Amino acid sequence: MIALHARRSADSIAAWAKTHPGRGLAVVLTGTDLYRDIQQDQSAQRSLELAQLLVVLQERGADALAAHLRPKARTIFQSTTRRAEIQKTGAHLRAVMVGHLRAVKSPETLFEAAGRLAGEEGIFIDHIGDALDPELGAAAEATAAACPHYRWLGGQPHDAVRRRIQRAHVLILTSSMEGGAHVIMEAIACGTPVLASRVPGNVGMLGTDYAGYFDHGDAAKLAGLLVRCRDDLSGSRDSLLRRLQAQCAKRLPLFAPDAERAAVRNLVKELLSS
């Protein structure tokens, strides 16, 4: 059995372990599992002990496990389809943030960065996501009213979101917690680099040496990175924007469907032999 979520699937995991003790059980761990549930919930902790294998969705996921559990961990990156890279305007920088407005996504960091950029020319920010927290929705509306270069677009169909990511120069991710954000791979798969909070889930997707990080909540650093990217549209070979594009291109093979299929097959083979 391959179970998703240590806490939510805890009953099914316990039932399998009782019927098939010591064999054939893997648990896939998301960010909620790794960075919240397994720290607080006894049923989630029990699931980790019962499993023969634990699947994490990015390279730093195993770091959140107790030392005796790490040998069970296998990294399987989720995959996404490629989209052709399109020519982007050199007249201004267009950034996009994708994520419903809720606390874990830390949209306040984007609101503050937009305010800091109010006096800057040539930077436009689109923000996509439903207001799951009404107070954050009100804050987004207030930011849009005060900062004409910031637009809150609300929820959008997935295909429309991907087209906006394609057209953007950078994707912004401000989250306090991520297990392996799918939007990162979607951006990379169409040639759009990422500016991301330096949290383990993002570092596990983008690599430890990635140049596009800001500390979680550091709106000043995010605003500074956006200014640098705008200034780099002239096409300098040493530009930050070019460096980010090159670093993301190196990560692209990790998110290929063939790579994910091969990793899942290997997981099943290992479970069958356990």
Look at residue 236 in the predicted model and tell me its pLDDT.
Answer: 66
Verify that 235 and 163 share a domain, yes or no.
Answer: yes
Residue of 92, 91, 96, 61 whose CA lies nearest to 76: 61
Q: How many domains does the chain have?
A: 2
Residue of 161, 171, 166 whose CA lies nearest to 244: 171
Its domain, for residue 68, covers 2-79+256-273
> Which parts of the chain have pLDDT scores under 50?
none
Whether residue 28 lies inside any domain: the answer is: yes
Look at residue 237 in the predicted model and tell me its pLDDT.
Answer: 65
What 3-state class would DSSP assign to 9?
Answer: coil
Verify that 160 and 181 share a domain, yes or no.
Answer: yes
Verify that 27 and 156 share a domain, yes or no.
Answer: no
> CA–CA distance from 104 to each of 56, 101, 196, 210 (Å)?
19, 9, 14, 22
Whether residue 13 lies inside any domain: the answer is: yes
pTM for the structure as a whole: 0.93
CA dihedral over 262, 33, 66, 68, signed as positive or negative: negative
Whether residue 47 lies inside any domain: the answer is: yes
Encoded amino acid at 101, one letter: L
Chain centroid to Cα 222, Å, comes to: 16
Tokens standing for 138? 């009100």
Verify that 170 and 74 share a domain, yes or no.
Answer: no
Look at residue 134 in the predicted model and tell me its pLDDT.
Answer: 97
Whether residue 156 lies inside any domain: the answer is: yes
Whether residue 214 lies inside any domain: the answer is: yes
At 116-141, the pLDDT tens digits run 999 899 999 999 999 999 999 999 99
Cβ count within 10 A of residue 32: 17
Look at residue 149 in the predicted model and tell me its pLDDT.
Answer: 97
Verify that 27 and 146 share a domain, yes or no.
Answer: no
Q: How far apart are CA 186 and CA 255, in angstroms?
A: 9
Whether residue 197 lies inside any domain: the answer is: yes
Verify that 105 and 239 share a domain, yes or no.
Answer: yes
- Please count the residues of the chain: 274
